[in-house]
Amino acid sequence: MQLQPGLYRHYKGPQYRVFGVARHSETEEDVVVYQALYGEFGLWVRPLEMFCSTVEVDGETVPRFALIEAEPARFAKE
């Protein structure tokens, strides 16, 4: 599953910057590394599958995080 780095909006409204996908050192699960663009601007990780999932809001299925604007990758894969 691919994920484009960039600005995303959570279905509840706040915006986040996605830096990329990392691999958990113990489970090898893919996790998304992202930063809140509000409050304390904390760094977060969330399983890739959950990040890319959908949720139901007022009877409508919407993405949990929706891409607002793609940005270049900050970390190169070797």
In a domain, 54, yes or no: yes
Q: What is the pLDDT at residue 67?
A: 98
In a domain, 1, yes or no: no
Q: How many residues does the chain have?
A: 78
Predicted confidence (pLDDT) per residue in 20-31, tens digit: 999 999 999 999
Number of domains forming the structure of the chain: 1
Name the residue range of residue 61's domain.
Answer: 6-70
The sheet that has 6-10: what strands, in order across it? 43-47, 30-36, 15-23, 6-10, 65-70
Predicted confidence (pLDDT) per residue in 7-61, tens digit: 999 999 999 999 999 999 999 999 999 999 999 999 999 999 999 999 999 999 9
Q: The CATH number of the domain where 20 resides is what?
A: 2.30.30.320
Global pTM reads 0.90
